[in-house]
Amino acid sequence: MSLGIGSLMATLNTTIVNTTLPVIRDSFGADLSSIEWVMMSYMLVISVLLSIFGRAGDIWGHKRVYLTGIGVFVVASLLCSLSPTEGFLIGSRALQAVGGAALVSNSSAIVSRTFAPERRGQLLGLLYTIASLGTLAGPSLGGFLTSAFDWRSIFYANVLLGVLAANVSWRILPNPPPSKTREPFDLVGAAAMTIGLGAFLLAISKGQDMGWTSTFVLGCVSISAVFLAIFMRVELGLKHPLLDMSLFRIRVFSLAMASAFVVYLCAYSGLFLAPFYLLQGRGFSPGLAAVLYSAQPVGMLITTPLGGYLSDRIGPRALSGGGAAPGPGR
């Protein structure tokens, strides 16, 4: 339950904000290129920090890092609700992503280290079901709160949910022990990966607007290549690396990571533009747009627990392949 509340909070935060981006833009009088960073700042930061906080949980304890993430998330949500400008909101969203990364990266680890292998698939499926529920509830809740109050109320909802998650997690969350040997944290690798991955994601996000051959984009790509090369070299030479590169020699692991990347790329490629299309392109009300936006998470809510249950019994390979198969065209 405690992990479910944290997962619900992290996923709810993504979709509840996305559906109100047009309203936030009008409130600040901002243009599309700047207001997109309300979402992009969160996605960039959380993408960079997930593995870092996962490793931090291995060393210092997953419960400790998880609870710290909740605290950061609550404070950042309060700052978002008080934002006087779009720049302040973007910075607060980046801080929110720091807390979100600690939540997401450690919730699955706590499940995996606490429960027996024969129950992990079912429990992880339940965890992701609750996360899908947050994705499902976000658009409708965001549309309702924005219509009834204003866009700032969506962040007050995050504060209330975060306080509840902190209270429940502190009292009942199991505390898997950290690594028995006091392993050092790979600061050099973390810094190199942060700069390299951050520069790459920045280049991808700005390439369409500024041109793929612009000085800024090419500079980001060059910085990314240099620092990711440094990261790989550092990791290969450490006894306790941030990322164990030898894992990628395992064919099943590498193919699973590649498949997950492609699936998430396809599933979330329209995440930012969908609310603008529904609200402004089609002229739908926030409530109707929220319902249409919820179609994908409804499907995930239904299939995720079933997938976890079946994974424990027939194995994940057939399920993963079937889930990634393309659906019928128009």
The pTM is what?
0.71
The reported pLDDT for the residue numbered 91 is 92
Residue type, 128: Y
Tokens of 9: 């909070």
pLDDT in tens, 304-325: 666 666 666 666 666 666 666 6
The reported pLDDT for the residue numbered 329 is 46
Nearest CA to 20 out of 308, 226, 12, 105 is that of: 12
CA distance 53 to 190: 10
CA distance 124 to 49: 21
Considering Cα of 223, then 31, then 78, then 17, what sign does the dihedral take?
Answer: negative
Tokens of 41: 């700042």
Count of other CB atoms within 10 angstroms of residue 322: 9
User: In order along the chain (330 residues), what is the average pLDDT of each group of 10 residues?
Assistant: 66 74 83 78 82 81 85 91 90 90 79 63 64 66 76 85 80 63 77 87 79 88 92 83 79 78 70 68 71 68 66 65 56
Q: What's the gap between Cα 307 and its chain centre?
A: 21
State the chain's maximal CA–CA distance in angstroms: 59
The DSSP symbol for 149 reads S
Count of other CB atoms within 10 angstroms of residue 255: 11
The reported pLDDT for the residue numbered 222 is 94
Half-sphere exposure of 303 (CA within 13 A, CB side): 10
Answer for the pair 41, 94: CB distance below 8 angstroms, yes or no.
Answer: yes
Tokens of 187: 């600061």
Share the mean pLDDT of the chain.
Answer: 76
